Structure 1
């Protein structure tokens, strides 16, 4: 059932109107113009001035010694998707945005990756300043497990002037996280005009590989018939169709004059997205047997009981960007954002016969609902200008806070049974993260000897971060008076004490850094860039990084370029101090499983040590071809070697049974010797693996005019391969545990094969007078979804996903558009169900029962929702 928009929807709609309508009225007397400042339509691709990856004021895309993509505001808006991550996934070959489900908070804050690396190994900037991460740690079974990354979907596409994607290591220039590259979101700085859009769409799809079930097959005695894997045989009739995911997005941006030359640009967006559900029909026995026979309710139970797809969300986004020249050489500036997101997703359905259910409360079982409440605010103020003889400076300070809370409904705590004190909804606690940053950047253009141009830059940065867990309601995590699983089903509450340690105290750290950068044109055909940076962190120590890059153009229009750099990523506070406790059913045995901070006594007893920074060495080399007017082609190869990547261990399970064998028995002995006799299983973060990633990026852009038609054609290709070069030996006493698996095969494959090995982006934009067409098709290469054992892997076949939009200016300043994303209704490869064949021995094997209800892999690079159709109306003023 779709949630009501309720108070939040009403307040958000009023907020959008309040922010935009009066402002648009004020702007009516100003000359209309496009809010986004783009290169001229007939300009050569690559002629755009860039600000990412260099501190020179005149460096263009084509002149850059490292690969960089520039995505225009127009490209971001010609699609039915209004989530920025989904749009970038269509436009940037090396960008990946899977859309997992049943992953707790990750259902509503989904991370993205660049060049197949971790989400937290890409630095995100807004207006060239570091954007903060979310408080959420992605700890469940998604790509990027164990990371805390920036929520790019908080940035509304309508607020953007353009996006610059630097595909090269840049830690020497920007500091921690910039191992895979940098994504810089440039906010619009218009001082007049504006745009309001209303976008409506929903999924209209036939779900691949899931026939519609109409009932349970029965035998002559009226009893359900069993399939070979022990589940019930279902009667089917045709395909399962779905119409869901209804999404309405109202967005607007307006530019207002601030003083004689200043600007105040306000952008707001409200989005109400309904849930999607691509679950299959659950053929398992739902009820306990009655006298050895199936419960009659088995024949009438609605077996489409799970929820597997997009979470239902409501978003309010507000961005403000302002600049005010004080003199000809001094400008004050400020930008900030406020976001609120209300989400709801499902956990796995608790069957009526599940030991976690109380039949007196939920006689037919229940679906726990995970409601997430997210609030985010950020602001930056600064002053920049020029003093003396061309000496440029930029002094700024910013602060941000991210709050993430879990509110669980349609649930219970099994250990309270049907007692009057039992509750069906809980506040399960939350997460808090803050970031404060101060920057001073200095640069000057010099004329030095034989150098035709030289820019010298340097600067200082201070950053403080905090992280804190908020404990939930006591009953959301307590053990009640009845033996059995404890905690709120779906998401157990965060306890204030886990593993004997208080985990809800405020954690913090500071770091100072200094950098210097030289960017020189040695001659008309050779440019060189050098950078060095020193960082000092209060928790893990200091780090030096450097970078050298060069571009050589012996023939006009044909250049070669290359770069080498070192980099690092500081362990996040979330990775160091996140804690959680849950009772899991492992092989029919209830185990108290804890995720522990590295300074927790239990983790230390098992060998945990303070986390160190990940370190990297990156190389890239490429060719740029721009000899033909309006055509730009770049081809770059790269290698990124990362040591000490931070990963979470497998569950280290103790087995105290008299007949126990290793490694479970040895783990129990370690825990018992340390006095932790009640702990059954634990996991924690370690600097666990060294990896090497190699790949190739190729991007081509061509602009031409054919009669009255303006045509933009783009093509992109990425090939990416990651391997694990070294796995950390088990630390401390775990080193003596026979048969121990510290970092298992599932987690290894998540790093090496969990993202597309290749990706192709093809796009064509055609505008003729009042009508325009955008066609895009993307090929997502092979992905290997790791199974529970070495024979349970599923290869997701390559897929082409095609999008089409047609738009027309039928009325002055009004544009109407209709289109479809995933026009041909493609789905990823289905997960296998029932009895399969072991690919090695040829013997029969049962696939996990959850494959019936979680029908597609969370690793699918384009999700698993099917065709999305939409219509959009836009008013430009």
Structure 2
């Protein structure tokens, strides 16, 4: 299978967008959708002529499937991008991260219209792929607002700054002076659920999803435009829990699956000419998202249950109320030989937490059952200046493109405490304090921090000969919290013959420690031997972390190497790109470092260190993990226009990706103990190495003839490990293949009706073994499954364009 996938493999499968081909003839290789702006500052380059691999996914490819989540849509089109869709991991149920090339979610830079996007306020601190990361939330941008997505599959920190280690995803908003469209869809999961304790299975029809969107282009003057998009979606929850062994016969007591989500989005993108050579531009975007996910159930006999409130036990729900904002304005034009782009962008992400159907056991029978648990805020403001001009170098075949610029960025991060009952100790019968399911942020957790940085870059792209193109870039950054960083890149392309070229690059990169990683803190109070003690996550610079040897976080550093080839002839094209990414000093969330007054010598030593702070267990973010990632991407595409049979766009693409952890973190304090505790233990090491599929491929075919159309897609996933503390409890998702099918009919060239199925044959990952599961039987399937674990999704969609 590995050999086959090495021949097929590709990091950004249908990122070569099926719908572009539908809009052009087989001989037309110059459609405007093919021109890219990501990864190059030389105007007019197509994706097959770039020095670095850049793929394009257009809006039709994104919307011609059942999901309306941008992250899920991209994961079905790009083999190197995965979207696991975890459950029972607190806020991460509602803000689910995507990964590129098996790296951390925050090691891919996301741009909006070519400008740096802002991260979510959430930091993933629970047991999901991407644990410890604070990344851009792709699902804050509705697919209806997008014209296309460009994916640069190469390190680009020297060009774009921090985070661009795995690559860059550039989300391009619609730019329309006229026309518009409206779409409504309905779908649900129609599946048979068979778990380890329920092999007979049960029928499920859940996750009912409604969506509606509309967009309209308006002309402003002779050449200006304003495109407005409104989008609404409502997804009901799913449940793929196993049955509880506490009952006979077993019953489902948990809720394990997709969270309930309702989102409302409004985007506007515009531009107007200023004189003959200048244009003013800007955009505004807002999304409000309500989410509700479930924690683990508390059965009636649970020690933390209050029978007078919940005689039959209870299932706590975690509620998220998310507001996301995007705004930008700028001007671009010519001044002599210079092309100048000056802009200001602002982004903000607010998350308010609540808990319902819960209780604070330490309040006893007087406990509330719903709580306001606090909030997190992240804000980012960026002012940038980008300048390009042609430069004639006598020995070179064509004028070079010189680009240079500067950027100033201001970031801030806040944590606001929840209401007192969500975290306080009421003193009832020595029971643990805090709202069950999600203890509220305490006043001691509140933070209000900020930082700024400025950067300068220079980039020279030179056509040295008619066949050789060389691009050299360097960037300097200065952060107010950790100092300076300089990165560089050299990339080249050599055209051996018409339609056949080799390309490669060597670069250095970095990722600055996020404010969320530096300052996130959450603590709870446990009653141990009658004494109230704190356990939780502490900032690396806090006294609690410092006494265990933690230090202020430093940037991650990377070295990227790539070598590839491009071949295209008429309707046929193939790209192959091999890569290696070495990352040093990765930032991770440590294991729980636990002390005990009566435990082992090591536990007693830790207890002595932590006792002055009233803490028994602590974890913190730390540098010190080194990894090496190697892989290959391959994309093969063929377009066929058969008059009688119709038009076909065929893509075969895949990715092989392997990560190895080569160094683990330590601190001098903990290393001196009799048996040093692991700071990054087995589960997390194996999550880095086997938490995403080593092999993934997509074989897709898109057909159209007159008013009819259809898309058939097969996605194959290599097996993924769901690790546990001991090897005997590990299990695998298994090698799986998922088939998606959609059929369409257009009436009067405007109205299109589609019906389809995602996961047509109801494929599931391997079940969670009963021996691994808790008595409550919540976890029916592995959280790390790269295609989720909800089964077959049926949908219908109605679209009208004008």
Q: TM-score range by the shorter chain?
A: over 0.9
- Within-5 A mapping of 1:283-294: 283-284=245-246
SS at match of 1:153: helix
Offset, 1:811: 3.9
Offset, 1:329: 0.3
* CA distance 1:616–1:805, shift in 2 (3 Å): same
The match for 1:85 among 65, 68, 71 is: 71
Alignment partners' CA distance in 1, 2:280 and 2:20 = 21
Q: Counterpart in 1 of 2:622?
A: 686
1:469 matched to 2:415: yes
1:270 matched to 2:232: yes
Q: Counterpart in 2 of 1:562?
A: 504
Deviating more after overlay: 170-179 vs 630-639: 630-639
- Within-5 A mapping of 1:423-822: 423-451=368-396, 452-482=398-428, 483-497=430-444, 503-583=445-525, 592-626=534-568, 628-657=569-598, 660-672=599-611, 675-676=612-613, 678-708=614-644, 709-822=646-759
1:327 matched to 2:269: no
Offset, 1:662: 3.2
1:246 matched to 2:246: no
Q: Is the 8 A contact 1:429 1:473 kept in 2?
A: yes
* CA distance 1:770–1:484, shift in 2 (3 Å): same
Q: Is the 8 A contact 1:46 1:632 kept in 2?
A: no
Alignment partners' CA distance in 2, 1:786 and 1:867 = 26
Alignment partners' CA distance in 2, 1:570 and 1:198 = 41
Q: Is the 8 A contact 2:246 2:775 kept in 1?
A: no
Deviations 1:813-840 (A, max 9, x none): 1000000000000000111114xxxxxx
Instruction: State TM-score, norm by structure 1.
Output: 0.87
Alignment partners' CA distance in 2, 1:685 and 1:873 = 47
SS at match of 2:606: helix
Offset, 1:739: 3.9
Q: Counterpart in 1 of 2:7?
A: none
Q: Counterpart in 2 of 1:293?
A: none
* CA distance 1:788–1:257, shift in 2 (3 Å): same
SS at match of 1:833: coil
Q: Counterpart in 2 of 1:312?
A: 260
Q: Counterpart in 2 of 1:215?
A: none
Q: Is the 8 A contact 1:374 1:402 kept in 2?
A: yes
The match for 1:386 among 334, 344, 352 is: 334
Q: Is the 8 A contact 1:44 1:703 kept in 2?
A: no
Instruction: State TM-score, norm by structure 2.
Output: 0.95
* CA distance 1:201–1:121, shift in 2 (3 Å): same
Q: Counterpart in 2 of 1:303?
A: 251
Q: Is the 8 A contact 1:46 1:61 kept in 2?
A: no
Alignment partners' CA distance in 1, 2:22 and 2:405 = 29
> What stretches of structure 1 of length at least 5 have no aligned partner?
1-34, 213-235, 286-297, 498-502, 835-846
Query: Rg: which structure is higher?
Result: 1
Q: Counterpart in 1 of 2:162?
A: 176
1:337 matched to 2:268: no
Alignment partners' CA distance in 1, 2:607 and 2:395 = 70
* CA distance 1:735–1:268, shift in 2 (3 Å): farther
Alignment partners' CA distance in 2, 1:635 and 1:682 = 46
SS at match of 2:71: helix
* CA distance 1:728–1:546, shift in 2 (3 Å): same
Q: Counterpart in 1 of 2:8?
A: none
Alignment partners' CA distance in 1, 2:47 and 2:27 = 13
Alignment partners' CA distance in 1, 2:393 and 2:236 = 61
1:258 matched to 2:188: no
Offset, 1:610: 0.3
Compare relative contact order (CA 8 Å, sep 6+) and give the higher one, 1 or 2: 2
Q: Counterpart in 2 of 1:107?
A: 93
Q: Counterpart in 2 of 1:360?
A: 308
Q: Is the 8 A contact 2:224 2:271 kept in 1?
A: yes
Offset, 1:116: 0.6
Q: Counterpart in 2 of 1:17?
A: none
- Within-5 A mapping of 1:853-868: 853-868=778-793
Offset, 1:409: 0.4
Deviating more after overlay: 264-273 vs 728-737: 728-737
Offset, 1:450: 2.8
> What stretches of structure 2 of length at least 5 have no aligned partner?
1-18
Offset, 1:93: 1.1
Deviating more after overlay: 242-251 vs 783-792: 783-792
* CA distance 1:394–1:737, shift in 2 (3 Å): farther
Q: Counterpart in 2 of 1:40?
A: 24
Alignment partners' CA distance in 1, 2:678 and 2:432 = 27
* CA distance 1:376–1:523, shift in 2 (3 Å): same
Alignment partners' CA distance in 2, 1:801 and 1:164 = 25
CA RMSD in angstroms comes to 2.0
Alignment partners' CA distance in 2, 1:759 and 1:701 = 17
Offset, 1:586: 11
Offset, 1:733: 4.8
Q: Is the 8 A contact 2:320 2:352 kept in 1?
A: yes
Alignment partners' CA distance in 2, 1:413 and 1:43 = 68
Q: Counterpart in 1 of 2:138?
A: 152
Offset, 1:211: 6.8
Q: Is the 8 A contact 2:58 2:149 kept in 1?
A: yes
Deviating more after overlay: 258-267 vs 36-45: 36-45
* CA distance 1:187–1:625, shift in 2 (3 Å): same
Alignment partners' CA distance in 2, 1:320 and 1:810 = 29
Alignment partners' CA distance in 1, 2:658 and 2:532 = 39
Alignment partners' CA distance in 2, 1:375 and 1:143 = 24
